[in-house]
C-alpha cells in the first residue's frame, strides 16, 4: 500500500457516510451563489447582451447612441473599449466583441444599465447592420463542405486490414449522436468590482478560476496579480463552466473598470442555452470485424465532432473520445481517426465525460447493432470482448485491474438476478404483442487524469490557528459534486482532528494560484493529495514540538505557537507516472481506470414509442470511498444525466434556409426535456464495488464525477432490444438502428423498422465469413426513408430541414 493511499489506524474521517457539507444550506435556500452577492452591494450595474439575429454575418455598423438615450443606460461596451486583447478564448479564436458573427444569438455588444430592464431596453435600442453570410450548421453539411478546425489525431494499434481479413464477420455503418445542454440550475454569473488600487476582483461561477483570471487579465491588459477570481460555489457546472465563464467574467470586469462601479452579469436561462457551448454531437463512420466467437477483432472508425464556431475544448474532448472508443473491450486491431467540424453554432465544450461518452457510444452501438447479425446476444459479445489483465489500450496503456470488470459483471448478474429476470422478460413479451420489455447490461471503463499531463497538479493552503481550529483552502471548486465535503474529511483524517475543527474557505486565485480546472473528475485526487501534503507538513513540525509527550491537539498547537513554529503550510500534489504524446496519441495518460457495470430493464409501448425504465442496478468502482453518500449521489446523478442525454434531451437547431437559420429552437425547459422524477428508474439500486483499494490515489479512493454517466448505455441498449422484440422473429436476429437520443419518437421508428421485417431496415451489411466489404461507404449519410416521408407528409417541410437522423449506409 502506498503512503498516499494508506489510511491511518485512528481518527479516520474519510470513508464516513456524511451529508454534503452544504446540504442544509442547499435545501433551506441559505446557500449563497455568485448572483446572490449582488444584494450585498450598492450601486451595481447590470449587463445585457446585444444578440445577433444571424448564424453567420459581418457586422457592418454598430450604433450605440440610441441605447444611451434610454433612461437608466449607463454605458455600451464594444470592441473599442477593450484595453487589452479582444478575445475570450485560450486558443485566441474567440473575439469577445466580434466583427463577424459566428452563431445565432452571439453578443456583438453589451449594455450596462442601472437595472436589468434598463440594460435590456438599451440592448434592444442598439442599431446593428449585418451582412448575412452562408452558415454551416449540421455535421453532414460540415463534412460535405470540408469545414474543420484544429488537429486531426489518429489512434492506431495492430493492423486493421489484417484484422478484417481474418475476421469471421465484418460490418460497416454510421453512428450519430446528439449533443446535450448542461442545464445547470445556476446560469453563468459574474460580479466584478475594482478597488481603489485598481485591483480587479471577480466573483464568478467558474470551474476554472485560474483561467478566468488569466482571460480577464488579458482582456483588460493587466497582469495576473492584478486580478483575483473567487468562486463561492456553483449551482452545477457539468463541464459547462470549465471554459465558458471567461468571456462573461471579462465583460463584467471590463464594465467595472470603465465605470468604477460593480457590474453584474447573469445570463437568463434562454440566453444561457442560446449562447453557451454544449456537449459535442458526433458522427462516426465505422467498419468492425468480429472473430468466430463473436469477439471484437478489428475496428476502423472516423469520428467527427461538432465543435461549433471556435475550438474551445474541442481538441481535448476529441482526444478523450478517441481514448474511450475501446470502452471495456480489447480491440486487437484498431484505427481511429478524429476531426473537429467547424459549424456556425455555439462553441461546444466540456460536458461530464468530456468526449468519453461519445467515444464509448460508438463501440456500444457497433456491438448492439452487430451482435444480432452474428447470432449472439449482445451481452455475450460484450463479456467475451472484455479486457483481461496484461492487455493494453489502443494508445498503449496497460489496463490495470481489468479483472474488476468481470468481478462487477458477475456481481451484478447475481445482485440483479439477471438470469431469472431475462426469463420473466421473455414471458412478458410472449404475452404482450404491443408492449415489450428488455434487460441489457453494459460496462464502463473510464480513464482518470487529464490527458494533458501538466494539468495533473493541485495545490492547497492549510492554516492551523492558535485555538486549534483549521481553515482549508484548496484549488478545487464546489459545484454540488461534494469536493469540499471530501476535502474536509481528508484534512480531518490527515491531521487526526475532529471534523468540527475544520472549515473550508471559498476557492480564490490569491490563496492557491495556477490551479487546474476542477474537471476530469480529478478534483479529489489532485486537491486531496495537496491538502494531505499540507497537513502532513504541519504534523511533522508539530511532532517535533510534541517530542513524544502525546499532548492533546489544542495544547500542542499552543506550544508550537509559543515555540515560534509555523502553523500553516502550502501543499502540493502532482500525479506521478503520467506521460502523453499528443502527436503520436500514445502514452500513459491515466493514473487508473474507474470501472462500473449497469443493468437496465425498460418497457416500450409499440404504439407510441413511449418508454420507461423499470429497474436499474449498478455496481460501480470508486476505490475505497472517501465519502460514500457523496459517491452514491454522484453515481445516481451521473447515471440520470447520462440517461437524459441518451433518451430524452433533444437539441434542435433551425436548419432551414429561412431567416431563422441557425437559431436554437430548444431554448427552455418547455422545449428541452430534462430527466425529472418521473423518468427515474422505478427501482434504482446502486452498490459500490467492495475491496477496491486504489494504490495511486488519496486514501485509496477513486474519482467518481464522470464515469457513471456512461452507465446509462444500458438503458439505450435495453431500448434497442425492446424495439427488436417487436420483430417477427422476436428480436434475436434483428439488428435495430436506434437514433441517439432515443426519444419516444426515435424508439417508435425503431419499433416500426423492426416490425416491418423489411429487408431494407437492417442497413448493416453482413460480410460473410472472411469477406470484407470493399468500401466503407460514402461519407454523406442518407436520410432515413421513413422520416423523409414523414417530414414531407406530416410536417410539411423538406427532409433534412430539422436535425433528422441519418441511416447507416450500405458498404
Integer Cα distance of 598 and 452 in angstroms? 29
Contacts of 746 (CB under 8 A, 6+ apart): 609, 738, 739, 740, 805
The binder of 731, among ligand MOS, ligand MTE, none, by C-beta within 5 to 8 A per type, is none
Task: Pick the stretch among 24-32, 83-91, 166-174, 514-522 that binds ligand MTE (CB under 6 A).
Answer: 514-522
User: Half-sphere exposure (CA, 13 Å, Cβ side) for 786?
Assistant: 14
Residue 172 or 456: the one with the smaller Cβ distance to ligand MOS is 456
Residue 524 contacts ligand MTE per CB under 6 A: yes
475 binds ligand MTE (CB under 6 A): no
Of the chain, the end-to-end C-alpha distance in Å amounts to: 52
Do you know the residue count of the chain? 811
- Pick from 247, 332, 480, 623 the residue near ligand MTE by CB under 6 A: 480
At what angle are helices 418-431 and 403-415 packed, to 10 degrees? 60
Q: Is 782 helix (H, G, I), strand (E, B) or coil?
A: strand
Element holding 77 (H helix, E strand): strand 73-77
Alpha carbons 352 and 641: distance in angstroms, whole number: 9
Per partner kind, with CB cut-offs from 5 to 8 A, the member of ligand MTE, ligand MOS, none near residue 479 is ligand MTE
Q: Does 731 bind ligand MTE (CB under 6 A)?
A: no
Between residues 303 and 524, which has the closer beta carbon with respect to ligand MTE? 524
Interface with ligand MTE: number of residues (CB under 6 A): 21
Which of residues 217, 479, 722, 809 is near ligand MTE by CB under 6 A?
479
Show Cβ contacts of residue 433 under 8 Å, excluding neighbours closer than 6 positions: 606
- Closest approach, Cβ 479 to ligand MOS, in A, equals 8
- Rounded distance between C-alpha atoms, residue 648 and residue 678, angstroms: 12
Please count the other Cβ atoms lying within 10 Å of the Cβ belonging to residue 292: 13
Q: Which stretch binds ligand MTE (CB under 6 A): 103-111, 318-326, 475-483, 782-790?
A: 475-483
**Residue with the CB atom nearest ligand MOS in the bound state:** 239
Q: Which of residues 697-716 bind ligand MTE (CB under 6 A)?
A: 703, 705-706
Site for ligand MTE in 351-370 (CB under 6 A): 352
Q: Which one of the listed residues 74, 706, 717, 745 is annotated catalytic?
A: 706
Using DSSP's 3-state secondary structure scheme, residue 626 falls into: coil
Task: Indicate if 810 belongs to the active site.
Answer: no
Query: Left, alpha or beta for 529 (phi > 0: left; psi -120 to 50: alpha)?
Result: alpha
- The 628-667 site mask, x for binding ligand MTE (CB under 6 A), equals ------x--x------------------------------
Closest distance to ligand MOS from the beta carbon of 516 (Å): 10
- Closest to ligand MTE by CB, 553 vs 572, is 572
Q: Is the dihedral angle over the CA atoms 152, 156, 160, 162 positive or is it negative?
A: positive
237 binds ligand MTE (CB under 6 A): yes
- Binding-site ranges for ligand MOS (CB under 6 A): 207, 239, 242, 350-352, 354, 519-520, 706
Q: Which does residue 523 touch among ligand MTE, ligand MOS, none (CB within 5 to 8 A, set by kind)? A: ligand MTE
Please say which residue, 98 or 447, places its beta carbon nearer to ligand MOS.
Answer: 447
Residue 351 makes CB contacts below 8 A (sequence gap 6+) with: 179, 180, 182, 238, 239, 240, 278, 279, 280
Nearer to ligand MTE, 343 or 518 (CB): 518
Q: How far is the CB of 666 from ligand MOS (least distance, A)?
A: 21
Question: What does DSSP say about strands 227-231 and 200-204: parallel, antiparallel, or unpaired?
Answer: parallel
Q: How far is the CB of 507 from ligand MTE (least distance, A)?
A: 12
Measured between alpha carbons, how far is 352 from 349 in angstroms, rounded to an integer? 10
Burial of 706 (0-12, 13-18, 19+ CB in 10 A): buried
Binding site for ligand MTE (CB under 6 A): 236-239, 352, 479-481, 483, 518-524, 634, 637, 703, 705-706
Known catalytic residues are 706
Amino acid at each position: 500500500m502506498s503512503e498516499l493511499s494508506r489510511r491511518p489506524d485512528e481518527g479516520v474521517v474519510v470513508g464516513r457516510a456524511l451529508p454534503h457539507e452544504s446540504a442544509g444550506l442547499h435545501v433551506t435556500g441559505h446557500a449563497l451563489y455568485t448572483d446572490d452577492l449582488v444584494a450585498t452591494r450598492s450601486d451595481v450595474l447590470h449587463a445585457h447582451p446585444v444578440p445577433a439575429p444571424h448564424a453567420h454575418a459581418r457586422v457592418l455598423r454598430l450604433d450605440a447612441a440610441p441605447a444611451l438615450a434610454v433612461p437608466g443606460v449607463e454605458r455600451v461596451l464594444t470592441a473599442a473599449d477593450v484595453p487589452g486583447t479582444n478575445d475570450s478564448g485560450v486558443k485566441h479564436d474567440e473575439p469577445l466583441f466580434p466583427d463577424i458573427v459566428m452563431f445565432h444569438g452571439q453578443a456583438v455588444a453589451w449594455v450596462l444599465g442601472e437595472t436589468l430592464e434598463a440594460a435590456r431596453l438599451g440592448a434592444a435600442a442598439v442599431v446593428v447592420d449585418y451582412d448575412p453570410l452562408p452558415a454551416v450548421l449540421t455535421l453532414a453539411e460540415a463534412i460535405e463542405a470540408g469545414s474543420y478546425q484544429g488537429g486531426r489525431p489518429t489512434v492506431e494499434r495492430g493492423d486493421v486490414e489484417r484484422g478484417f481479413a481474418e475476421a469471421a464477420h465484418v460490418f460497416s455503418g454510421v453512428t450519430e449522436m446528439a449533443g446535450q445542454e448542461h442545464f445547470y440550475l445556476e446560469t453563468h454569473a459574474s460580479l466584478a468590482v475594482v478597488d481603489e488600487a485598481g485591483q480587479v476582483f471577480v466573483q464568478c461561477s467558474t470551474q476554472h478560476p485560474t483561467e478566468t483570471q488569466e482571460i480577464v487579465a488579458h482582456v483588460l491588459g493587466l497582469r495576473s496579480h492584478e486580478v483575483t477570481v473567487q468562486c463561492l460555489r456553483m449551482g452545477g457546472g457539468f463541464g459547462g463552466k470549465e471554459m465558458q465563464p471567461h468571456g462573461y467574467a471579462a465583460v463584467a470586469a471590463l464594465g467595472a473598470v470603465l465605470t468604477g462601479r460593480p457590474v453584474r452579469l447573469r445570463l437568463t436561462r434562454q440566453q444561457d442555452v442560446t449562447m453557451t457551448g454544449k456537449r459535442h454531437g458526433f458522427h462516426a463512420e465505422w467498419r468492425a470485424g468480429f472473430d468466430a466467437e463473436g469477439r471484437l477483432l478489428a475496428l476502423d472508425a472516423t469520428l467527427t465532432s461538432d465543435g461549433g464556431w471556435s475550438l474551445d475544448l474541442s481538441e481535448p474532448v476529441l482526444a478523450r473520445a478517441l481514448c474511450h472508443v475501446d470502452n471495456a473491450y480489447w480491440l486487437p486491431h484498431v484505427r481511429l481517426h478524429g476531426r473537429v467540424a467547424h459549424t456556425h453554432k455555439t462553441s461546444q465544450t466540456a460536458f461530464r465525460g468530456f468526449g468519453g461518452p461519445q467515444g464509448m457510444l460508438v463501440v456500444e452501438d457497433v456491438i448492439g447493432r452487430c451482435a444480432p447479425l452474428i447470432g449472439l446476444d449482445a451481452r455475450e459479445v460484450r463479456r467475451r470482448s472484455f479486457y483481461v489483465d496484461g492487455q493494453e489500450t489502443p494508445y498503449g496503456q496497460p489496463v490495470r485491474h481489468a479483472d474488476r470488470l468481470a468481478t462487477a459483471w458477475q456481481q451484478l448478474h447475481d445482485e440483479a438476478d439477471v438470469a431469472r429476470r431475462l426469463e420473466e422478460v421473455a414471458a412478458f413479451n410472449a404475452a404482450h404483442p404491443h408492449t415489450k420489455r428488455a434487460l441489457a447490461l453494459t460496462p464502463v471503463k473510464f480513464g482518470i487524469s487529464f490527458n494533458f499531463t501538466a494539468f495533473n497538479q493541485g495545490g492547497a493552503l492549510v492554516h492551523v490557528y492558535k485555538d486549534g481550529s483549521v481553515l482549508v483552502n484548496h484549488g478545487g471548486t464546489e459545484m454540488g459534486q461534494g469536493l469540499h465535503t471530501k476535502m474536509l474529511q481528508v484534512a480531518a483524517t490527515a491531521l487526526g482532528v475532529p471534523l468540527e475543527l475544520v472549515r473550508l474557505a471559498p476557492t480564490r486565485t490569491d490563496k492557491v494560484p495556477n490551479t487546474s480546472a476542477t474537471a476530469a473528475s480529478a478534483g479529489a485526487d489532485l486537491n486531496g493529495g495537496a491538502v494531505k501534503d499540507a497537513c502532513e507538513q504541519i504534523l511533522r513540525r508539530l511532532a517535533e514540538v510534541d517530542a513524544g509527550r502525546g499532548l492533546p491537539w489544542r495544547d500542542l498547537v499552543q506550544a508550537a505557537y509559543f515555540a515560534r513554529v509555523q502553523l500553516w503550510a502550502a501543499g502540493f500534489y502532482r500525479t506521478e507516472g503520467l506521460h502523453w504524446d499528443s502527436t503520436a496519441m500514445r502514452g500513459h495518460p491515466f493514473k487508473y481506470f474507474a470501472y462500473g457495470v449497469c443493468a437496465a430493464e425498460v418497457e416500450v409501448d409499440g404504439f407510441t414509442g413511449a418508454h420507461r425504465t423499470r429497474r436499474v442496478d449498478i455496481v460501480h468502482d470508486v476505490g475505497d470511498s472517501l465519502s460514500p453518500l457523496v459517491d452514491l449521489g454522484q453515481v445516481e446523478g451521473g447515471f440520470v444525466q447520462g440517461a437524459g442525454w441518451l433518451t430524452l434531451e433533444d437539441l434542435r437547431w433551425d436548419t432551414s434556409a429561412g431567416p431563422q437559420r441557425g437559431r436554437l429552437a430548444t431554448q427552455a425547459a418547455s422545449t428541452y426535456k430534462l430527466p425529472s422524477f418521473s423518468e427515474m428508474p422505478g427501482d434504482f439500486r446502486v452498490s459500490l464495488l467492495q475491496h477496491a483499494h486504489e494504490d495511486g490515489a488519496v486514501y485509496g479512493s477513486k474519482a467518481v464525477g464522470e464515469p457513471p454517466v456512461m452507465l446509462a448505455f444500458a438503458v439505450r441498449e435495453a431500448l434497442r432490444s425492446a424495439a427488436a422484440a417487436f420483430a417477427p422473429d422476436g428480436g434475436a436476429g434483428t439488428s435495430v438502428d436506434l437514433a441517439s437520443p432515443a426519444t419516444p419518437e426515435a424508439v417508435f421508428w425503431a419499433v416500426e423498422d423492426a416490425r416491418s421485417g423489411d429487408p431494407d431496415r437492417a442497413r448493416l451489411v453482413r460480410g460473410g465469413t472472411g469477406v470484407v466489404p470493399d468500401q466503407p461507404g460514402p461519407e454523406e449519410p442518407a436520410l432515413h426513408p421513413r422520416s423523409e416521408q414523414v417530414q414531407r407528409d406530416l410536417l410539411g417541410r423538406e427532409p433534412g430541414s430539422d436535425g433528422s437522423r441519418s441511416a447507416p449506409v450500405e458498404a
